[in-house]
Amino acid sequence: MNKIKNHYRLLIALFFFTSVVINAQHEKHDHEQEHEGHAHGSHDYEFGISVGMAHLSEEDENAPSAHLHLLKSLGSEGMLSKFSLGAGFEYIFTEHTHYSIVGTISVNPISAFILDISPGLLFTEHDGESENQFVTHMELTYEFEFHGFGIGPVVGVGFAKEDNHLMAGIHIGKGF
């Protein structure tokens, strides 16, 4: 159990350290853009990918992971502009099959922080037997704009009855 707590602490520390460094760069970039007269725009859709390393608790295994999503904003101004709905797909590159298909609710409560809550189905294979079960993914991203892309650190967790994982990595999104 201490090993899992240490992984959580490491992921949280990595996320906040990276967020502070990126925020300093982002504020400098915003200040420069104010002098140049540029402005950031909002988009109706976003295609995003998060890549990183996942720790699978039950197998005590680390593996690369990728999460793709397509989101539609619920509005262009006001409270609805802080919410998006969509779908996602996550794959963890282990020796056995491990992927999920999810629906996603995305919330942008403050500044550049984004919280995604994604319930769906997890498909795994253990000892030659295929299994599927309900899963809930949650990701927290700190995103800043860089040449038309949203980019930043992401931490995530997946909860299923018999399969949990933690993930830390980088999120890249493109609005259109």
Question: Which residue range(s) make up the domain with 22?
Answer: 2-175
> Structure pTM?
0.75
Task: Quote the tokens at residue 123.
Answer: 């498909």
Mean pLDDT of all residues in the chain? 83
Q: How many CA atoms lie within 13 A of 156 on its CB side?
A: 32
Q: Which helix (H) or strand (E) holds 23?
A: helix 2-36
Q: Taking a C-beta distance cutoff of 8 angstroms, is the pair 137, 157 a contact?
A: yes
Identify the pLDDT of residue 97: 86
Per-residue pLDDT tens for 147-173?
Answer: 999 999 999 999 999 889 999 999 999
For the chain, the domain total comes to 1
What CATH number is given to the structural domain containing 50? 2.40.160.20
